[in-house]
Structure formats: structure tokens, C-alpha cells
Amino acid sequence: MKRITILILCIICAIQVGRAQHAMFAKSGTVTFDKTMYMKNIVRKQFIEKADERSKSQFEHLLPNIPENVVLKKKLQFKGDEVMFGPEKQELDQRVKQLIMMLALDFDAITLSNLKTKDYKRFNDVIGQKLIIQDTVKKINWTITDEYREIAGYNCRRANGITPDSTYVVGFYTNDILIDGGPESINGLPGLILGLVVPSQHVSYFATKVEVSDNVLMDKKVFENSKTKTMSRAQMSKQFSESLSGFLNKETVAYIIKLGLL
């Protein structure tokens, strides 16, 4: 019995040492995410309930044919102090693609954050118009909780945050990957964010696969084209407001801007 007990203790120690080494050396890698957009909730809460009489009936007509939710594949790469987040290739139903484009719910954006210098870039393709947001990494006010859940095989701890534009977010981070980045521009926790929920936007991001590798190559070509128009978040917000205010009410426009600048 004593030998069995010693053997079990040795196995537990080996597992703990392996985890510690994993955390120590996980400095680069790739994470695959499912971004789930709860489409019927988005249309009900953000478009129909906030619409004027002129456009309300149009959105109500759309609702029966809208899927309950849509899952978009995303990829996060981390290396050193940099985190890049963007779309993965996938086949989507053409009607779903048109709906996402029509409601401006996803722009296939690519974000690049340097967590040391706090430099931030976001490439957007807005209905054929390519532009880059160049700004600083968001400073998010986090409160870490004692709630845990497993995501993609990693033990993750919950934190509740408020972004500079007052958006409430829930992040789940792992201490096994010591880089303070996450999906989109969400950052600032003591470990990589593998789960993100944005209740007011009816959207969530959860990692499905984590690959730790030293051979991470970030393709930054979209940020190197000098002809691409560059602006700050504030300038982008103003342009969106001016472009969409003729078609949608102020609250719905604010929702799209917050989603687009997440």
C-alpha cells in the first residue's frame, strides 16, 4: 500500500512539473476560436426593439428566416509581446453571409496588438472599403473572481471587465499561457484569454484548440500597404455614425460601432 501511495504521489508531482514547464515555455502558439453570434437575439434586441416604425416591419419580416446563431471560425496567434487575431477560412451559407454583411455584424477584421508598446492596429474590409484603425491597446478594468471552467483542455479563471466605452465583458484566462492578450482587442489579464462573453453584444468567443509552437509566423501584409486609409477609433466611430445614421436609429448605430470596435 505504501508503494502504491508513493507511486501516486510521484505521478501527481510529475503532472504538476509538466504543467509548470508548459506554462513557463508557452511563449508562442496558435488558438482556434468559435465566435458565436446569437442572431435572433441581435435582431430582436438591437434592431427590432430599437427601430422606428419605418424600418421595424422590415426587420420583423427578416426574423423568421434568421438562424438562432451563427458560428464564425477565428484564429489567434501569440508570439512574444504580439497577438494577432483574425478570421479562418470557412464555408458559410450565402444567405447568412449576406445577412451578416447587411447588418454590419462582422468585417473579417484582423487585429494586431503589441502588449509591450501598447500599439494597436485593426484591418477592416467594410463592404469593399479597406481601412486600418491605428490606436492604442484598450485599458480594461478587470475584477478577478473565484469561478473556474475548463476551456480547450485548460483550467481558466473568470474575470469581469469594463472597456473604455463602458461595455461589460466576461473573460476566462489561463495561467498556463502567460501572455495578457485575447480575442479582438480584449487584454490585460494575467494569462491568455481563452473564453470571452459580451452579453450586450450577444456574442461569445471560446477556444476549441490550443497549439503551442515555436514556429508561429504572423502574416502582417495587410498592415503594410501604404495606400490603405488609416484612422483612429474615434475617427472610425464618427465615419460609421455618419454613414449609418440615415438608415438606422442612433442606438442601433451605437451597437454596431461597439461591436465593430471590440
Report pLDDT for 14: 40
Question: Which sequence spans correspond to the domains of the chain?
Answer: 2-260
Label the pairing between strands 70-79 and 28-37: antiparallel
Residue 210 forms beta bridges with which residues? Answer: 31
Distances (CA, A) of 262 to 94, 143, 164, 172: 25, 19, 10, 17
**What strands lie across the sheet with 141-151, from one edge to the other?**
141-151, 154-162, 168-174, 192-198, 203-212, 28-37, 70-79, 82-87, 110-114, 119-126, 129-136, 229-231
- Quick check: 143 and 159 in contact, CB under 8 A? yes
pTM of the model: 0.85
Q: Look-up: residue for cell 430599437?
A: 50
Q: Look-up: residue for cell 465566435?
A: 35
Per DSSP, 92 falls in state -
Per DSSP, 201 falls in state G
pLDDT tops 70 at residue 18: no
- Quick check: 42 and 106 in contact, CB under 8 A? no
Residue-wise pLDDT tens digits, 63-105: 888 899 999 999 999 998 999 999 998 888 888 888 887 777 8
Residue 87 forms beta bridges with which residues? Answer: 74
- Quick check: 131 and 231 in contact, CB under 8 A? yes
Report pLDDT for 20: 41
Report pLDDT for 68: 92
Q: How many CB atoms lie within 10 A of CB 167?
A: 19
Residue-wise pLDDT tens digits, 197-222: 999 989 999 999 999 988 888 999 99
Q: Which residues contact 215 (CB under 8 A, 6 or more apart)?
A: none
- Which of 29-38, 42-51, 62-71, 125-134 is least confident? 125-134
SS3 category, 13: helix
Report pLDDT for 245: 66
Report pLDDT for 12: 39
